[in-house]
Structure 1
Amino acid sequence: MQTFEIIPLDKTNIDHVRGVAELSNTVRDHHLEAWPTTTTALELANRFIKSGYSRSHEWLAVVEGDIVGHVSGDLPTEDNTHLAECEVIVHPEHRRRGIGSALLEKLEKEAAAEGRDTFLGWTITSFPEGPRFDESGAAFCEARGYATSNVEVQRRCDLAAVDEKALDGLLAEAWKHAGDYELVEFGNEIPDDVVEGLAVLESNMYTDVPLGDTDIREADITPERMRAVARTRTERNSTMLNAIVRHKPSGEVAGWTQIAVRPGDPQIAYQENTIVHKTHRGHRLGTILKIANQRRLRQVRPTLQYVDTWNAESNGHMIAINEAVGYRKLARELEVQKKIS
């Protein structure tokens, strides 16, 4: 059996960063097509251009000079400082040799030494009626002491298959319930008159969505943090399409949705935050936001084919909206958690 060495990732070493990109795409091609592709340029940007609200630890597994495994841990520094968010990948030809376990153990020890007592990860499983994905991650997580804390469903919208006439009807009906609201759209740069309202909604995203048993706690997001994240996105050459609905009588930001377009990915965009403030629910604002932003994406990125989104399996309201605008089940994503004393 080949021996392997665990070494820290050096982000200034192009061979390290290129190796992670190549490994990530190899794992994706091994029956994990639900994952995004990546590039060396994107991996470099993600490591050198940071918003400053978390720090990362990364280690590599090397066999005869080849990078065959990678672990990363993202440690929030402003809120939820009990957490370490972990991701482990191992080349399909080098599995069941203890590489993944050694990488994760290294990260856990390092994060625990910094006071982290809750480790989070994600892995996917298949639906019986859907495409088949590599499900070995679930067994790996269970063997390492990680229990499922929440279940999300990944859905994919095929933009070419969307029934636009049906969306016209949904949108017209939704606006009948939203006469006191207006739609505002923008890109990476956040307008001054909405940044505080967005910060409130971003804070609410930490606790308003179904979390199951996942130990994610409240956060107080500031406008400065919102701008730092937006600036980081621009400097990484990523695009975020934002749509908000604003309550005209009060000027409050009532709802918000985002679609992220990654550089170098010509096929898939990613639906990120969607939230309506609890004081403004019941006006079909989620439907308005989803349809408006989806249509804007088709205008500014007409070659994109898919948009992927994730919702807690228990979030029936948002799932109903997503399915109405064209999203269909692709994979089940398990959120897994390990607590240490």
Structure 2
Amino acid sequence: MNATTLTITPLTVPASLEDPDAADFLAFGALNRLVCDEATGLPDLAPDAAQMLAAWQENTDSLSLGFVARAGDDVVGMLAMDFAQEAEARAAEIDVLVPESSAGLGVEDALLDLAEREAHARGRTLLQKWTLHRPIETERMIVPRTGWGRIPAIPLTDALERHGYVCEQVERNSELDLRADPAPLVAALAEAEAHAGPDYRTVHWMAPTPVEHRDGYAAILARLSTDAPSGDMEFVAEEWDADRVIRRDARNTAAGQAFSVVAVQHVPTGALVAYNELLIGADRSGVTHQFGTLVASEHRGHRLGMIVKCANLLRWRELMPASAVVSTFNAEENRPMLSINEAIGFVPVSYAGAWQKRI
């Protein structure tokens, strides 16, 4: 297979998955899950087409574009691109999906070339890509520029390096057994709440976010793009308001998903200063995914991260008793958050590499 035998066409985003033109988007969802399963051995780590569709239909905050690579009639790869819509955004986030059956045959190179052309055409000067990896040691291990963690080389990382991408950061994917004895969570929560003291209290909700918390939630969500450890990955400061929270809630509850938020409120000011999010698909026996967890920098040192994590996990066990595990990603250099995870029973199951190229 080579570039001359490939045809690459735009991905159609259907109005619904029942529409006649939904075939490619359904194939996108299936390929997304297959590639993730092959890379990590974790079949439920990636969202399916139903879970992704709402985000692709709503372009107010992030524009999504996709492309389908075929050899003859066979789909051999896909490219997904996301463009943050803030005026100062410089990056295009890309996902190159190539199954093992087509890996190393030139599909990755063709899709990376296309990604660069599309990003350049939209005035972007950075390309960012995440790769998934099993927790194994191989002959060639890649150490990111942060110096924290390492990932095994795979055909996709070989292609990224050929195209001038640099591995900036490694993230650890950890899982917690939700069926384990909850006593450590209960004890850790009580100890953290006692340490934090009366100036902090927890609030919680299931999406959609109650009106009284939308502004405060928007303010703390905006901090994730600037306060979370990211090495030399460049992220635009995201612009959040109550309307963007409403749009995000709609995406996170589409296709029967359920989304739980536990936040810490600073009593003297009323501000939300920490939060943790958990999401599960329509199949309530599936994997639970932890989305954002953040403590505002000026409120760190009060064990608020432990509070939001433990409180949400304990609440989730009651809300979703059929879900067996929670999955989460954290930067390897984010020792405070990893220490919380380890203390309450999370164990590493896979890794991700964060790659960046300046164009």
TM-score, normalised by the number of residues in structure 2: 0.87
Task: Give the 5 Å matches for 1:2-41.
Answer: 3-12=5-14, 13-34=21-42, 36-41=45-50
* Aligned partner letter, 2:135: F
- Answer yes or no: is the 8 Å Cα contact 1:152–1:333 preserved in 2: yes
Q: Residue 246 in 1 paired to residue 265 in 2? A: yes
1:293 aligns to what? 312
Task: Give the 5 Å matches for 1:249-288.
Answer: 249-264=268-283, 266-288=285-307
Q: Distance in 2 between matches of 1:139 and 1:244?
A: 41
Task: Give the 5 Å matches for 1:171-210.
Answer: 171-178=189-196, 179-210=198-229
Encode CA deviations 1:177-236: one digit per residue, 9 max, x unaligned.
222222111011212222222222111111111111101132332222122211232344
Encode CA deviations 1:39-65: one digit per residue, 9 max, x unaligned.
4433444433x2621112211111221
1:157 aligns to what? 176
Worse-matched range after superposition: 322-331 or 26-35: 26-35
Encode CA deviations 1:103-159: one digit per residue, 9 max, x unaligned.
2211220121110110000013343489x9883332222122110112211111121
- Answer yes or no: is the 8 Å Cα contact 1:79–1:219 preserved in 2: no
Runs of 4 or more consecutive aligned structure 1 residues displaced over 4 Å after TM superposition: none
| Cα offset, 1:33, TM superposition | 2.3
Change (3 A) 1:77 1:255: same
Secondary structure of the 1:160 match is: coil
Q: Distance in 1 between matches of 2:34 and 2:187?
A: 43
| Cα offset, 1:328, TM superposition | 0.8
Q: Distance in 2 between matches of 1:46 and 1:214?
A: 23
- Answer yes or no: is the 8 Å Cα contact 2:36–2:132 preserved in 1: no
Q: How many residues align?
A: 337
Worse-matched range after superposition: 148-157 or 22-31: 22-31
Q: List alignment gaps of at least 5 residues for structure 2.
A: 15-20, 139-150
2:56 aligns to what? 47
| Cα offset, 1:262, TM superposition | 2.6
2:142 aligns to what? none
- Answer yes or no: is the 8 Å Cα contact 1:55–1:75 preserved in 2: yes
Secondary structure of the 1:215 match is: coil
Secondary structure of the 1:186 match is: strand
* Aligned partner letter, 1:47: W
- Answer yes or no: is the 8 Å Cα contact 2:290–2:328 preserved in 1: yes
- Answer yes or no: is the 8 Å Cα contact 1:31–1:134 preserved in 2: no
2:324 aligns to what? 305
Q: Distance in 2 between matches of 1:6 and 1:72?
A: 12
1:106 aligns to what? 114
Change (3 A) 1:23 1:166: closer
Identity %: 30
Change (3 A) 1:40 1:154: closer
Change (3 A) 1:117 1:160: same
* Aligned partner letter, 1:157: L
Q: Distance in 2 between matches of 1:198 and 1:79?
A: 22
Q: Residue 166 in 1 paired to residue 174 in 2? A: no
Q: Distance in 1 between matches of 2:182 and 2:169?
A: 33
Q: Distance in 2 between matches of 1:286 and 1:43?
A: 28
Q: Distance in 2 between matches of 1:4 and 1:316?
A: 44
* Aligned partner letter, 2:188: L
| Cα offset, 1:265, TM superposition | 6.9
Out of 238, 242, 245, which is 1:226 matched to? 245
Secondary structure of the 2:179 match is: helix
1:140 aligns to what? 159
- Cα RMSD between the aligned structures? 2.3
Q: Distance in 2 between matches of 1:135 and 1:34?
A: 17
Change (3 A) 1:57 1:196: same
- Answer yes or no: is the 8 Å Cα contact 1:32–1:133 preserved in 2: no
2:66 aligns to what? 58
Q: Distance in 1 between matches of 2:69 and 2:284?
A: 27
| Cα offset, 1:79, TM superposition | 5.1
Worse-matched range after superposition: 263-272 or 97-106: 263-272
Change (3 A) 1:226 1:105: same
| Cα offset, 1:37, TM superposition | 4.6
Change (3 A) 1:308 1:19: same
1:82 aligns to what? 90
Q: Distance in 2 between matches of 1:199 and 1:79?
A: 18
